[in-house]
Chains A and B, each alone.
Chain A
């Protein structure tokens, strides 16, 4: 079945860039997403990329998509302590892309 993989932990220093990586298996996925989860809260959509795009930039966030390798990455520039959270990669699947498969989440720790 569909599978989304991520490394579980990442630590960076405040002010550095963070890069969170993800691989997925469903080549028919048309949308790929990054969500952020802060402690005790639900998931919040950060950004998404359509499968015919290679890159999407949104302020400090840059998403890169390599469709050939089924690899997605999220770069956070000038990482701040407020960016400490769990980041989930997800793909939409199903006949109408109505269901979502999530990776296990990467816990980002930002050190002062």
Chain B
């Protein structure tokens, strides 16, 4: 099993550009989520999904869109990149909360 796979690993964007961060999991997990990690702030929840066709907002959803058309994939879209979105983005999935979250290796995103 590959677990949670995120692409790309690194990306540099200019302000105003759009892009999609990809996330796929092969563990048949219903729950998937996106976090951003900034120094000294831990991880903050952007969006989450409890199953295909169902998404909801987390703590910091502004400037991001998600969709969940399949169980396996949960892409995160930046609509118009801003320097404040420079961060490390993690996708995570879970089967049940007593397993905790399975994380991808992250996407390091810089907005110039």
Interface of A is mostly: strand
Known A-B contacts A4-B42, A43-B90, A105-B42; A48 and B100 likewise in contact (beta carbons under 8 Å): yes
Known A-B contacts A43-B101, A88-B42, A92-B97; A99 and B106 likewise in contact (beta carbons under 8 Å): no
Q: With contacts A45-B100, A102-B43, A103-B42 known, what are 4 further pairs, Cβ within 8 A?
A: A44-B103, A98-B97, A102-B35, A104-B41
Q: List 25 A-B contacts (CB under 8 A).
A: A8-B40, A35-B100, A41-B106, A42-B4, A43-B43, A43-B90, A43-B92, A43-B103, A44-B103, A45-B99, A45-B102, A48-B100, A50-B98, A96-B50, A98-B31, A98-B50, A98-B97, A99-B33, A99-B45, A99-B48, A99-B58, A100-B101, A101-B45, A102-B43, A104-B41
The answer, yes or no, to whether A24 is at the interface (CB within 8 Å) is: no
Contact at A88–B43, with CB atoms within 8 Å?
Answer: yes
- Mask for B76-99, Cβ within 8 A of A = 1, else 0? 000000000000001010100111
Contact at A31–B101, with CB atoms within 8 Å?
Answer: no
Range class of the B interface residue count = 20 to 34
State how many angstroms separate the Cβ of B94 from the closest Cβ of chain A. 8
A42 and B35 CA atoms in complex are apart in Å by: 11
Q: Which residues of A contact B4 (CB under 8 A)?
A: 42
Contact for A33 among B40, B42, B100, CB less than 8 A: B100
Q: Which residues of A contact B90 (CB under 8 A)?
A: 42-43
- Mask for B25-62, Cβ within 8 A of A = 1, else 0? 00000010101000011111100101000000011000
The answer, yes or no, to whether B105 is at the interface (CB within 8 Å) is: yes
Known A-B contacts A88-B42, A88-B43, A104-B42; A41 and B97 likewise in contact (beta carbons under 8 Å): no
A9 and B66 CA atoms in complex are apart in Å by: 35
Contact at A42–B103, with CB atoms within 8 Å?
Answer: yes
- Mask for A1-41, Cβ within 8 A of B = 1, else 0? 10010001000000000000000000000110101000011
A98 and B104 CA atoms in complex are apart in Å by: 18
Which residue of the partner chain A has the closest CB to B49? A98
A31 and B106 CA atoms in complex are apart in Å by: 24
A88 and B51 CA atoms in complex are apart in Å by: 26
